[in-house]
Structure 1
Amino acid sequence: MIEIPDPSRFENMLNGKTVVVGTGASISIYRIPDLIRDLRREGAHVRVIMTPNSRDMISPKVMEWASENPVLTDISGRIEHISLFQKDHENIALLVSPASYDLIGKMANGISDDPVSLSFSFALGNGNPVVIAPAMHMAMMETPMNRKNIETLEESGVLTVPPGMEGDKAKLSQNHQIIDYVARSFYGKELHGKKILVVSGSSRVKLDSVRDILNGSTGFSGYWFCRNAFRLGAQFITCIGNSDYEIPPYVDFHPAHTNQEYLEEIMKALRNHHYDAVIVPAALSDFSMKDSENLEKLQSGSRQIIELLPVEKVISSIRKNYNGKIVSFSLMAEADPQRIREKYSQADPDIIVHNILMKDGKNFGTGKNRYTLIERDKVITPGDLTKQEMTLLVLREMERIPGSQ
């Protein structure tokens, strides 16, 4: 049976990284074997450390099966809380998940009386990346003591994955969001402090009073630009548009569906924030209907002649109001980099990500495409890439280019 690729996963991004998962006693521990498998699917080598109370809730044998490594349940004379983290510390992270109320309190107050809290005390002092994913009852999550403890940990450099709030429960976050924070703990220096604006999805044009013309786009590239910008450490991420995929809660999302809505939201964002880059993978319309203000319903069963008028590209409007880095996207049969740059001369983007138009429509969605990155001084031809790989490459290449502002 062929396994269908999971669009929420970036296979191999955690290659060469080790994630030590420390488990606290929470009923959500039943999700940890699946989280371990997802970490491994992204390339991580996983080890597991368990507190005594968490061992009572799920067998260490299950964790051993998931990680395919021995599980640490006690500290021996081999001082495993040190040896697991000591070598190549920048590539070995501690993920405490689920982080229970008592375990958070121990870590924040220097109490080290179980394998997980003891490992935390060494990993934090040794400079290893540390991430916690809390899970508990909402009332416990909101106590002044717990809030202060989490604040103490964050001030010490620990990343906290916000739990999913549901009723009176602060539930363990979704696996892919936990992994986003783990990746951020490894790669977060690359875009540290940066503000990124992503314009994603598709726009529609009114055909008549009840029908629209819609450009093809799932918003998958924009979704992964947001996630990879976060994984690389961006301080603030805004996404404007629409998507078939759930935009993560750490993104400042503003819906838009028509060119006018896009422009209004983009200009508002540019006024309110100083972005380091604007990335526009959105499929936005280059046309509008003639007499668009007075459209009547077209009569079914009769031949219709429709007149479309060209409109200014949204990316050109962005350039008129923004002098920073711009990444635009090109989808056409043309493959000559010089001609493609000429087409976008008014917007003068720093990078044009060109994707050759396919007749079968496979440019859209989760598959691989053959991309060309056209910059002012060079052309990069990385070959066939997934959207996950392409967005990561573009973000890193964008950061390499000197800023315009």
Structure 2
Amino acid sequence: MNSEHHVMELSISGTVSDTLAGRTVALGVTGSIAAVRVVDLVRDLIRRGADVHCVMSEAAQRILHPYALEYASGNPVITEITGRVEHVELCGVEGRADMLLIAPATANTIGKIACGIDDTPVTTFATTAIGSGKPVAVVPAMHEAMYRHHAVVENLNRLRSMGVVCIDPRIEESKAKIAENSRIVAEVERILGPRDLRSRRILVTSGATAESIDPIRIITNRASGRTGVEIAREAYRRGADVTIIHRARLGLPFKEIYVESAQDTLDAVMKELSGGYDALIGAAAVGDFTVDTEQRKIKSKEELVLRLKPAPKILRSVRSMYPDLTIIGFKAETFVSDEDLLRSARESMDASRLDLVIANDVGAGGMGTDDNRVLILRYDGSHAEVSGKKTIIARRVIDELVRILNGKDKGC
């Protein structure tokens, strides 16, 4: 590979986030037609900071040329085990790779790994990684009939018993299609993340609610829900069992509950919390007002008068039911000073006995954008300013949550 190409590959490193910065991923590719998706997967990993080294089976090379993955990764592709013992160099006990990801993983390869057979470069890497205690993830891709075969099911269960993460396929058109790249990347981030929320259950509300005027019209607000989604993703990356409640269906790699109104949101939150959670992060921009809904479409008129009623206060209701739950709230104001913004945040904190409040002036921006500026108010009165991408803000919010949960665990 020439140096010009290597410089070009480095230029895309970390352009989306730094969640995989400093991490080395060994990526095994086997002989499924889904191998054609791997070029984009490699790029997605690199854009989050990963250094990717690809290893291919002979069958995979009949579908995708190694040059394609050399171009995508910026590293030579391993197509055979040589005197350099590449499998040990990367996936041995002291190997450079932080994990082995096999995508796509055929039924043949899954069976061989489950039985400890290593007759291809990819299966040799797998045997070495599992034996060395390296994290391993497989992403099955095959016809649905093969995926349902009892032996394949047993082999996948056997891999899970070894600690291998199996990233389930999408069942479409009688095929067990390889998981979306976004899902694979999220699982890699979770495997290689700090795991400081492991075994924690986190509930997140996100985005705007909507109140029905009639079967067609609604009252809502401009909140996009990006901050809430990024917070939920960050909690998931860090090992939490995450549920998000919002007015969206995004196909996230954790549980999503669809709601419309403020009352729907409150009902869903209360139902979920009854199952036991460690924290609620109320990032939703819940409407302050609701309206009696007409059952039929209101005829067009020159003037229409609506009678608005206060919507339920979700965090206040939750606090009355769950006095010991960790709750993080959000407070939005427009065109105010930082002093006034913090005063408003403190009022919200005291009213619902919140552990943390994230406050921002949406008049200055942040609503519907990728970037924002927020003030994080802690219960002791101290605060921090955070500016930048909402992924950065989400990380700081989860950092604060970890601190609070650890403090409560210690009886502080």
TM-score, structure 1 as length reference: 0.89
CA distance in 2 between counterparts of 1:261 and 1:31 reads 39
CA distance in 1 between counterparts of 2:117 and 2:149 reads 19
CA distance in 1 between counterparts of 2:300 and 2:149 reads 63
Partner SS state of residue 346, structure 1: helix
Which residue among 279, 282, 302 is the counterpart of 1:280? 282
Match of 2:400 in 1: 397
CA distance in 1 between counterparts of 2:230 and 2:143 reads 32
Q: Summarize the Cα distance change of 1:137–1:284 in structure 2 as closer, same or farther, 3 Å threshold.
A: same
Residues 1:326 and 2:330 aligned together? no
Residues 1:341 and 2:380 aligned together? no
Q: Summarize the Cα distance change of 1:12–1:215 in structure 2 as closer, same or farther, 3 Å threshold.
A: same
> Which aligned pairs between 1:130-279 and structure 2 lie closer than 5 A?
130-187=136-193, 189-207=195-213, 211-234=217-240, 236-243=241-248, 246-248=250-252, 250-271=253-274, 273-279=275-281
Q: Deviations over 1:98-133 (max 9, x none)?
A: 011111111111111111111111112222221111
CA distance in 2 between counterparts of 1:42 and 1:296 reads 48
CA distance in 1 between counterparts of 2:88 and 2:227 reads 41
Match of 2:5 in 1: none
After the TM superposition, which parts of structure 1 deviate over 6 Å for at least 4 consecutive aligned residues?
291-296
Q: Which moved more, 1:119-128 or 1:66-75?
A: 119-128
Q: Summarize the Cα distance change of 1:206–1:149 in structure 2 as closer, same or farther, 3 Å threshold.
A: closer
Q: Which amino acid in 2 is paired with 1:300?
A: K
* 2:194/2:238 contact within 8 Å kept: yes
* 1:372/1:379 contact within 8 Å kept: no
Match of 2:104 in 1: 98
CA distance in 2 between counterparts of 1:46 and 1:296 reads 56
Q: Which amino acid in 2 is paired with 1:354?
A: A
Q: Summarize the Cα distance change of 1:131–1:188 in structure 2 as closer, same or farther, 3 Å threshold.
A: farther
Q: Which amino acid in 1 is paired with 2:244?
A: C
CA distance in 1 between counterparts of 2:180 and 2:209 reads 30
CA distance in 2 between counterparts of 1:206 and 1:60 reads 55
Match of 1:374 in 2: 377
Q: Summarize the Cα distance change of 1:330–1:285 in structure 2 as closer, same or farther, 3 Å threshold.
A: same
Q: Summarize the Cα distance change of 1:380–1:129 in structure 2 as closer, same or farther, 3 Å threshold.
A: farther
CA offset at residue 97 of structure 1? 0.6
* 2:26/2:52 contact within 8 Å kept: yes
CA distance in 2 between counterparts of 1:23 and 1:310 reads 56
CA RMSD after TM alignment = 2.5
CA distance in 2 between counterparts of 1:382 and 1:177 reads 31
Partner SS state of residue 358, structure 1: helix
Q: Which amino acid in 2 is paired with 1:350?
A: D
Q: Summarize the Cα distance change of 1:287–1:124 in structure 2 as closer, same or farther, 3 Å threshold.
A: same
> Which aligned pairs between 1:112-131 and structure 2 lie closer than 5 A?
112-131=118-137
Q: Which amino acid in 2 is paired with 1:348?
A: R
* 2:45/2:52 contact within 8 Å kept: yes
Identity %: 32
Residues 1:386 and 2:389 aligned together? yes
CA distance in 1 between counterparts of 2:141 and 2:300 reads 57
Q: Summarize the Cα distance change of 1:137–1:92 in structure 2 as closer, same or farther, 3 Å threshold.
A: same
CA offset at residue 232 of structure 1? 1.2
CA distance in 2 between counterparts of 1:91 and 1:364 reads 40
Q: Which amino acid in 1 is paired with 2:391?
A: Q
* 1:63/1:71 contact within 8 Å kept: yes
Q: Summarize the Cα distance change of 1:138–1:340 in structure 2 as closer, same or farther, 3 Å threshold.
A: same
Match of 1:4 in 2: none
Q: Which amino acid in 2 is paired with 1:51?
A: S
Q: Deviations over 1:21-64 (max 9, x none)?
A: 10111011001011101111111111100111111221111110
> Which aligned pairs between 1:4-43 and structure 2 lie closer than 5 A?
10-43=16-49
Q: Which amino acid in 1 is paired with 2:33?
A: I
CA offset at residue 309 of structure 1? 3.9
Match of 1:350 in 2: 355
Q: Deviations over 1:235-259 (max 9, x none)?
A: x32222213x6131x4222211111
CA offset at residue 19 of structure 1? 0.9
* 1:90/1:129 contact within 8 Å kept: no
Q: Deviations over 1:319-362 (max 9, x none)?
A: 11222111111111342324421233221211111122225xx4
CA offset at residue 147 of structure 1? 1.0
Partner SS state of residue 81, structure 2: coil
CA distance in 2 between counterparts of 1:189 and 1:172 reads 26
> Which aligned pairs between 1:52-67 and structure 2 lie closer than 5 A?
52-67=58-73
Residues 1:73 and 2:76 aligned together? no
CA offset at residue 311 of structure 1? 4.2
Q: Which amino acid in 1 is paired with 2:321?
A: N
CA offset at residue 189 of structure 1? 2.3
Q: Which amino acid in 1 is paired with 2:366?
A: N
Q: Which amino acid in 1 is paired with 2:25?
A: V
CA offset at residue 139 of structure 1? 0.7
CA distance in 1 between counterparts of 2:261 and 2:230 reads 22
CA distance in 1 between counterparts of 2:20 and 2:95 reads 15
Q: Which amino acid in 2 is paired with 1:68?
A: G
* 2:90/2:96 contact within 8 Å kept: no
Q: Could you tell me which runs of 5 or more consecutive residues in structure 1 were left unpaired when the two chains were aligned.
A: 1-8
Between Structure 1 and Structure 2, how many residues are aligned?
389
Partner SS state of residue 345, structure 1: helix
Q: Which moved more, 1:382-391 or 1:56-65?
A: 382-391
Partner SS state of residue 344, structure 1: helix
